[in-house]
Protein backbone atom coordinates (compact mmCIF):
# COMPACT_ATOMS: atom_id res chain seq x y z
CA UNK A 1 0.00 0.00 0.00
CA UNK A 2 1.29 3.46 -0.90
CA UNK A 3 1.77 5.53 2.19
CA UNK A 4 0.60 9.13 2.48
CA UNK A 5 3.59 11.48 2.29
CA UNK A 6 2.87 14.04 4.97
CA UNK A 7 5.03 17.04 5.76
CA UNK A 8 4.73 18.10 9.39
CA UNK A 9 5.98 21.59 10.20
CA UNK A 10 6.70 22.33 13.87
CA UNK A 11 8.71 24.63 16.14
CA UNK A 12 8.63 28.18 14.82
CA UNK A 13 9.76 31.60 15.92
CA UNK A 14 6.85 32.52 18.20
CA UNK A 15 6.80 32.36 21.99
CA UNK A 16 4.84 29.11 21.58
CA UNK A 17 7.80 27.25 20.05
CA UNK A 18 8.13 24.69 22.89
CA UNK A 19 4.38 24.03 22.86
CA UNK A 20 4.53 23.35 19.13
CA UNK A 21 7.31 20.83 19.66
CA UNK A 22 5.26 19.03 22.32
CA UNK A 23 2.23 19.00 20.02
CA UNK A 24 4.35 17.51 17.24
CA UNK A 25 5.59 14.80 19.60
CA UNK A 26 2.00 13.72 20.23
CA UNK A 27 1.24 13.74 16.51
CA UNK A 28 4.32 11.57 15.94
CA UNK A 29 3.10 9.06 18.49
CA UNK A 30 -0.29 8.98 16.77
CA UNK A 31 0.84 8.34 13.18
CA UNK A 32 0.37 4.81 11.83
CA UNK A 33 3.71 3.95 10.14
CA UNK A 34 1.91 1.71 7.66
CA UNK A 35 -0.35 4.59 6.57
CA UNK A 36 1.97 7.59 6.69
CA UNK A 37 5.46 8.49 5.52
CA UNK A 38 6.23 11.57 7.62
CA UNK A 39 8.72 14.31 6.73
CA UNK A 40 9.53 16.38 9.81
CA UNK A 41 10.27 20.02 9.05
CA UNK A 42 11.54 21.74 12.17
CA UNK A 43 11.76 25.53 12.37
CA UNK A 44 14.25 26.75 14.94
CA UNK A 45 13.60 29.72 17.23
CA UNK A 46 15.82 31.75 14.88
CA UNK A 47 13.70 30.78 11.86
CA UNK A 48 15.93 28.18 10.20
CA UNK A 49 14.07 25.38 8.39
CA UNK A 50 15.55 21.90 8.67
CA UNK A 51 14.58 18.33 7.78
CA UNK A 52 14.71 16.24 10.94
CA UNK A 53 14.26 12.66 12.06
CA UNK A 54 11.43 13.75 14.33
CA UNK A 55 10.39 16.22 17.03
CA UNK A 56 12.00 14.46 19.97
CA UNK A 57 13.99 16.44 22.59
CA UNK A 58 17.21 17.80 21.11
CA UNK A 59 15.83 17.57 17.58
CA UNK A 60 17.75 20.68 16.48
CA UNK A 61 21.05 18.85 16.94
CA UNK A 62 19.93 15.97 14.74
CA UNK A 63 18.88 18.12 11.79
CA UNK A 64 21.69 18.22 9.26
CA UNK A 65 19.84 19.20 6.09
CA UNK A 66 18.26 22.52 5.25
CA UNK A 67 14.74 22.11 3.90
CA UNK A 68 11.92 24.42 2.92
CA UNK A 69 8.56 24.33 1.24
CA UNK A 70 8.72 25.45 -2.37
CA UNK A 71 6.34 28.28 -3.31
CA UNK A 72 6.90 27.31 -6.96
CA UNK A 73 4.07 25.05 -8.11
CA UNK A 74 6.25 23.62 -10.89
CA UNK A 75 8.54 22.29 -8.14
CA UNK A 76 5.80 21.55 -5.65
CA UNK A 77 6.87 19.92 -2.42
CA UNK A 78 9.83 20.06 -0.11
CA UNK A 79 13.21 21.39 -1.26
CA UNK A 80 16.07 19.68 0.59
CA UNK A 81 19.65 20.94 0.36
CA UNK A 82 21.96 17.98 -0.22
CA UNK A 83 25.64 18.40 -1.14
CA UNK A 84 25.15 21.91 -2.41
CA UNK A 85 22.09 21.14 -4.52
CA UNK A 86 18.39 21.28 -3.80
CA UNK A 87 16.45 18.11 -4.37
CA UNK A 88 12.67 18.05 -4.48
CA UNK A 89 10.70 15.73 -2.22
CA UNK A 90 7.07 15.34 -3.24
CA UNK A 91 4.40 15.61 -0.54
CA UNK A 92 0.73 14.70 -0.56
CA UNK A 93 -0.17 17.27 2.08
CA UNK A 94 1.22 19.39 4.92
CA UNK A 95 0.16 19.44 8.56
CA UNK A 96 1.36 22.71 10.15
CA UNK A 97 1.66 21.91 13.86
CA UNK A 98 2.46 25.52 14.71
CA UNK A 99 0.92 27.87 17.25
CA UNK A 100 0.79 31.64 17.56
CA UNK A 101 2.62 34.12 15.35
CA UNK A 102 3.50 32.79 11.86
CA UNK A 103 1.62 29.59 12.64
CA UNK A 104 -1.97 30.69 13.30
CA UNK A 105 -2.00 34.12 11.68
CA UNK A 106 -2.11 33.12 8.00
CA UNK A 107 1.64 33.37 7.33
CA UNK A 108 2.42 29.66 6.88
CA UNK A 109 -0.98 29.22 5.24
CA UNK A 110 -0.06 31.85 2.64
CA UNK A 111 3.12 29.98 1.77
CA UNK A 112 1.14 26.76 1.45
CA UNK A 113 -1.39 28.45 -0.83
CA UNK A 114 1.47 29.58 -3.08
CA UNK A 115 2.91 26.07 -3.07
CA UNK A 116 -0.35 24.50 -4.17
CA UNK A 117 -0.01 21.84 -1.47
CA UNK A 118 -3.14 20.84 0.44
CA UNK A 119 -2.81 21.50 4.15
CA UNK A 120 -4.61 20.72 7.38
CA UNK A 121 -6.51 23.50 9.10
CA UNK A 122 -7.85 26.97 8.46
CA UNK A 123 -6.97 29.02 5.39
CA UNK A 124 -5.27 32.43 5.20
CA UNK A 125 -8.39 34.53 5.72
CA UNK A 126 -9.85 32.63 8.68
CA UNK A 127 -6.44 32.31 10.34
CA UNK A 128 -5.82 36.06 10.10
CA UNK A 129 -9.35 36.81 11.29
CA UNK A 130 -9.20 34.54 14.33
CA UNK A 131 -5.71 35.54 15.49
CA UNK A 132 -6.93 39.15 15.90
CA UNK A 133 -9.35 39.03 18.80
CA UNK A 134 -10.91 42.41 17.98
CA UNK A 135 -11.80 41.23 14.45
CA UNK A 136 -13.10 37.92 15.81
CA UNK A 137 -15.38 39.85 18.16
CA UNK A 138 -16.79 41.94 15.31
CA UNK A 139 -17.73 38.82 13.35
CA UNK A 140 -19.22 37.22 16.47
CA UNK A 141 -21.39 40.27 17.14
CA UNK A 142 -22.53 40.29 13.52
CA UNK A 143 -24.00 36.78 13.96
CA UNK A 144 -25.59 37.60 17.31
CA UNK A 145 -23.02 36.12 19.70
CA UNK A 146 -22.08 38.14 22.77
CA UNK A 147 -18.52 39.32 23.36
CA UNK A 148 -16.87 41.28 26.16
CA UNK A 149 -16.83 45.05 25.82
CA UNK A 150 -13.41 45.79 24.34
CA UNK A 151 -11.20 48.70 23.34
CA UNK A 152 -8.31 48.22 20.86
CA UNK A 153 -5.14 50.14 21.65
CA UNK A 154 -2.91 50.62 18.63
CA UNK A 155 0.88 50.92 18.63
CA UNK A 156 2.10 54.14 20.30
CA UNK A 157 -1.48 55.13 21.18
CA UNK A 158 -1.76 56.84 24.54
CA UNK A 159 -3.97 55.11 27.08
CA UNK A 160 -6.22 56.92 29.54
CA UNK A 161 -6.68 54.65 32.58
CA UNK A 162 -9.60 56.79 33.69
CA UNK A 163 -11.86 55.77 30.80
CA UNK A 164 -12.35 52.18 31.98
CA UNK A 165 -14.43 50.53 34.67
CA UNK A 166 -12.39 47.93 36.53
CA UNK A 167 -11.62 45.07 36.59
CA UNK A 168 -10.40 44.65 33.01
CA UNK A 169 -8.13 42.25 31.18
CA UNK A 170 -5.28 43.53 29.06
CA UNK A 171 -3.94 41.23 26.36
CA UNK A 172 -2.05 41.21 23.06
CA UNK A 173 -4.61 41.38 20.25
CA UNK A 174 -2.75 38.89 18.05
CA UNK A 175 -0.92 36.37 20.18
CA UNK A 176 -1.52 32.86 21.43
CA UNK A 177 -1.94 31.18 24.81
CA UNK A 178 -1.81 33.59 27.77
CA UNK A 179 1.47 35.33 27.04
CA UNK A 180 1.27 39.01 27.95
CA UNK A 181 -2.20 38.78 29.54
CA UNK A 182 -2.87 40.69 32.77
CA UNK A 183 -5.83 41.08 35.08
CA UNK A 184 -6.06 44.73 36.14
CA UNK A 185 -8.17 45.80 39.09
CA UNK A 186 -6.80 49.34 39.60
CA UNK A 187 -6.36 52.23 37.18
CA UNK A 188 -2.78 52.79 38.35
CA UNK A 189 -1.77 49.31 37.09
CA UNK A 190 -3.16 49.67 33.57
CA UNK A 191 -0.19 51.27 31.83
CA UNK A 192 2.27 48.63 33.00
CA UNK A 193 -0.16 45.93 31.83
CA UNK A 194 -0.37 47.55 28.39
CA UNK A 195 3.42 47.62 28.16
CA UNK A 196 3.58 43.94 29.16
CA UNK A 197 1.13 43.07 26.37
CA UNK A 198 3.06 45.15 23.84
CA UNK A 199 6.06 42.86 24.29
CA UNK A 200 4.06 40.32 22.28
CA UNK A 201 2.06 42.51 19.90
CA UNK A 202 1.93 46.20 19.00
CA UNK A 203 -1.87 46.05 19.06
CA UNK A 204 -3.39 45.53 22.50
CA UNK A 205 -6.93 44.92 23.74
CA UNK A 206 -8.46 46.18 26.95
CA UNK A 207 -11.47 44.00 27.77
CA UNK A 208 -14.17 44.24 30.38
CA UNK A 209 -14.01 41.26 32.72
CA UNK A 210 -16.79 38.70 32.24
CA UNK A 211 -18.22 37.01 35.33
CA UNK A 212 -18.87 33.38 34.53
CA UNK A 213 -17.39 29.92 34.04
CA UNK A 214 -14.75 29.39 31.38
CA UNK A 215 -15.82 26.64 29.01
CA UNK A 216 -14.57 25.43 25.66
CA UNK A 217 -15.62 23.32 22.71
CA UNK A 218 -13.45 21.50 20.17
CA UNK A 219 -14.78 21.49 16.60
CA UNK A 220 -13.73 19.12 13.82
CA UNK A 221 -14.80 19.94 10.28
CA UNK A 222 -15.48 16.94 8.08
CA UNK A 223 -16.95 16.24 4.67
CA UNK A 224 -20.44 15.62 6.01
CA UNK A 225 -20.57 18.37 8.63
CA UNK A 226 -19.15 19.52 11.94
CA UNK A 227 -18.31 17.31 14.91
CA UNK A 228 -18.32 18.91 18.36
CA UNK A 229 -16.14 17.49 21.08
CA UNK A 230 -17.29 17.26 24.66
CA UNK A 231 -17.51 20.65 26.36
CA UNK A 232 -14.94 21.26 29.08
CA UNK A 233 -14.96 23.62 32.05
CA UNK A 234 -11.95 25.22 33.71
CA UNK A 235 -12.17 24.99 37.49
CA UNK A 236 -10.11 27.77 39.10
CA UNK A 237 -8.85 27.77 42.67
CA UNK A 238 -7.61 31.38 42.45
CA UNK A 239 -6.48 34.01 39.96
CA UNK A 240 -7.24 33.59 36.27
CA UNK A 241 -6.57 30.82 33.77
CA UNK A 242 -3.15 31.12 32.11
CA UNK A 243 -2.67 28.38 29.55
CA UNK A 244 0.90 27.18 28.93
CA UNK A 245 2.27 29.33 31.75
CA UNK A 246 2.62 26.42 34.19
CA UNK A 247 5.98 25.31 35.55
CA UNK A 248 5.23 21.64 34.86
CA UNK A 249 2.11 21.48 32.65
CA UNK A 250 2.29 17.70 32.14
CA UNK A 251 1.54 17.30 35.83
CA UNK A 252 -1.18 19.93 36.13
CA UNK A 253 -1.66 23.61 36.75
CA UNK A 254 -1.09 25.55 39.96
CA UNK A 255 -4.55 27.13 39.91
CA UNK A 256 -6.79 25.26 37.47
CA UNK A 257 -8.17 21.86 36.52
CA UNK A 258 -10.15 20.69 33.50
CA UNK A 259 -13.52 19.03 33.94
CA UNK A 260 -14.46 16.96 30.87
CA UNK A 261 -17.35 16.58 30.26
CA UNK A 262 -18.18 19.91 31.83
CA UNK A 263 -20.40 19.79 34.91
CA UNK A 264 -23.08 21.99 33.33
CA UNK A 265 -26.68 21.34 32.35
CA UNK A 266 -27.59 19.53 29.14
CA UNK A 267 -29.18 22.76 27.85
CA UNK A 268 -25.99 24.75 28.52
CA UNK A 269 -23.86 22.04 26.91
CA UNK A 270 -26.00 22.12 23.76
CA UNK A 271 -25.88 25.93 23.65
CA UNK A 272 -22.08 25.96 23.96
CA UNK A 273 -21.70 23.41 21.16
CA UNK A 274 -24.12 25.19 18.85
CA UNK A 275 -22.45 28.55 19.54
CA UNK A 276 -19.06 27.04 18.76
CA UNK A 277 -20.34 25.65 15.47
CA UNK A 278 -21.91 28.99 14.53
CA UNK A 279 -18.63 30.80 15.18
CA UNK A 280 -16.64 28.16 13.28
CA UNK A 281 -18.82 28.67 10.21
CA UNK A 282 -19.01 32.47 10.48
CA UNK A 283 -15.23 32.77 10.73
CA UNK A 284 -14.65 30.40 7.80
CA UNK A 285 -12.73 27.82 9.83
CA UNK A 286 -11.65 24.50 8.35
CA UNK A 287 -10.37 21.27 9.83
CA UNK A 288 -9.94 21.99 13.51
CA UNK A 289 -10.58 24.86 15.89
CA UNK A 290 -11.14 25.31 19.60
CA UNK A 291 -13.72 27.87 20.67
CA UNK A 292 -13.26 29.30 24.17
CA UNK A 293 -16.30 30.85 25.82
CA UNK A 294 -17.71 32.14 29.08
CA UNK A 295 -20.96 30.76 30.50
CA UNK A 296 -22.62 33.28 32.80
CA UNK A 297 -24.95 32.49 35.68
CA UNK A 298 -28.00 33.51 33.64
CA UNK A 299 -27.08 31.02 30.89
CA UNK A 300 -25.60 33.51 28.41
CA UNK A 301 -22.64 32.38 26.31
CA UNK A 302 -19.95 35.01 25.71
CA UNK A 303 -17.02 34.55 23.32
CA UNK A 304 -13.49 34.54 24.69
CA UNK A 305 -11.39 33.53 21.66
CA UNK A 306 -11.04 31.07 18.79
CA UNK A 307 -7.86 29.02 18.31
CA UNK A 308 -7.34 27.78 14.75
CA UNK A 309 -4.36 25.52 15.52
CA UNK A 310 -5.03 24.50 19.12
CA UNK A 311 -2.45 22.66 21.18
CA UNK A 312 -2.22 18.91 20.65
CA UNK A 313 0.05 18.18 23.61
CA UNK A 314 -0.63 15.46 26.15
CA UNK A 315 -2.27 18.05 28.41
CA UNK A 316 -4.02 20.20 25.77
CA UNK A 317 -7.74 20.85 25.82
CA UNK A 318 -8.61 20.12 22.19
CA UNK A 319 -7.51 16.45 22.03
CA UNK A 320 -8.96 15.86 25.50
CA UNK A 321 -12.38 17.14 24.44
CA UNK A 322 -12.33 15.15 21.20
CA UNK A 323 -11.23 11.98 23.00
CA UNK A 324 -14.11 12.38 25.45
CA UNK A 325 -16.42 12.49 22.40
CA UNK A 326 -14.96 9.21 21.10
CA UNK A 327 -12.28 10.59 18.78
CA UNK A 328 -8.78 9.81 20.16
CA UNK A 329 -5.80 11.61 18.64
CA UNK A 330 -4.81 8.86 16.12
CA UNK A 331 -8.37 8.88 14.72
CA UNK A 332 -8.43 12.68 14.79
CA UNK A 333 -5.24 12.86 12.69
CA UNK A 334 -6.64 10.30 10.23
CA UNK A 335 -9.86 12.27 9.85
CA UNK A 336 -8.07 15.60 9.39
CA UNK A 337 -5.87 14.07 6.69
CA UNK A 338 -8.82 12.41 4.95
CA UNK A 339 -10.78 15.67 4.96
CA UNK A 340 -7.80 17.59 3.57
CA UNK A 341 -7.15 15.12 0.77
CA UNK A 342 -10.85 15.00 -0.09
CA UNK A 343 -10.82 18.77 -0.44
CA UNK A 344 -7.88 18.47 -2.85
CA UNK A 345 -9.94 16.27 -5.18
CA UNK A 346 -12.91 18.63 -5.33
Task: Provide the residue ranges of all domains of the chain, joining segments of one domain with +.
Answer: 4-119, 128-147+211-345, 150-208
Peptide bond into 167 cis (omega under 30): yes
Average pLDDT of the segment spanning 183-189? 95
Contacts for 192 with CB less than 8 Å, ≥ 6 apart: none
What CATH number belongs to 4-119? 3.40.50.20
**Model-wide pTM > 0.75:** yes
Share of the chain above pLDDT 90, in %: 79
128-147+211-345: CATH topology is D-amino Acid Aminotransferase; Chain A, domain 1 (3.30.470)
Top-level class of domain 150-208: alpha beta
Mean pLDDT over 39-57 rounds to 93
Q: How confident is the model at residue 252 (pLDDT cuts 50, 70, 90)?
A: low
CA distances from 338 to 1, 127, 309, 331 (A): 16, 21, 17, 10
Helical segments of 68-132, H only: 107-115, 124-131
When pLDDT is averaged across residues 322-327 and rounded to a whole number, the result is: 97
6: helix, coil or strand?
Answer: strand
Amino acid sequence: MTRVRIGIVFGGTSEEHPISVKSAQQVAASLDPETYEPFWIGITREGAWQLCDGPEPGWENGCVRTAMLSPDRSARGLLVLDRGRYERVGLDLVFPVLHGKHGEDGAIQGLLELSGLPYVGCDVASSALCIDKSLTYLVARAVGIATPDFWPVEAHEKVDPGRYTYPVFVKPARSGSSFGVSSVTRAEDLLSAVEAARRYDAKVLVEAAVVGSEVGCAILGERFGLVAGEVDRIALSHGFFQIHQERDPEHGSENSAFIVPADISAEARSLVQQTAKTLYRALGCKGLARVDLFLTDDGTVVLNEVNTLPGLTSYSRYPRMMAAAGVPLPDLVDRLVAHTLHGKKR
